[in-house]
Structure 1
Amino acid sequence: MKKGIISILLFSLLSFPYVFIAMFLDVSQGSMLGYGIMAVMSLILGYTARYFGLVPVLVIGNLVSLVISYYLNTTMAGHEKWGWYFKPLTSQQLLIVVSILNLIPQILGLTIHRNQKDKPKKARI
């Protein structure tokens, strides 16, 4: 029961369109803060997925997030700022590149947990 609740919560957090929100903040505010928040959340969610043994949820959540971000991005494509802001790439191309780069912190989170798990524990006296 507990693992089911955790997997639903993890899936919900992973399905959030982080890439779209980061790009939107970049266009509307000129702020890179969204990319930083996205990277930190990816690291935390990757670690959490490995900790609870929910790596398949991580993969499915990433795909859902990409689809939602892509849909929101294509509906915003008519907005005049989106057409010129992300040159030399289009906003859809940048969305895919950032989504792929977003896997790096998640893989790092998976690796950190594996390395912590593999370390021998010190004996307490």
Structure 2
Amino acid sequence: MPSQEHMKAALQAYVDGFNAGDPAAVVALFADDATIEDPVGKPPITGREAITEFYAGNVASGAKLSLDTPVRGSHGNVAAMAFTVEMPNMRIRVIDVMTFDEDGLISEMRAHWGSTDVES
């Protein structure tokens, strides 16, 4: 099981890679068979190809992420972060919950946000 330190570092690397405009750095944090549910309630995106396309589009949008609080670990294989997505003319407040596999890669990402978390 990955350590809290590993999971926290991975989530910081996620934010840093996204903000650097490097979707490949973000995708490298995920397992090949990972799933993304963004937002929770939408059908999951599954597999490296779909995840690569998802992050390429999001990074290309010009969105930037800023942590609202420090990344949180757990006594298990899950970590979470509260952050704000800043885009031209829009802000979304999000909590991502990431589950890690035995190799320390993200196996599941679930983004918690709803319509009342979006500001124009």
- TM-score category by the smaller chain? 0.3 to 0.5
- Compare the two structures and name the one with the higher helix fraction: 1
- Compare the two structures and name the one with the higher strand fraction: 2
Higher relative contact order (CA 8 A, sep 6+): 1
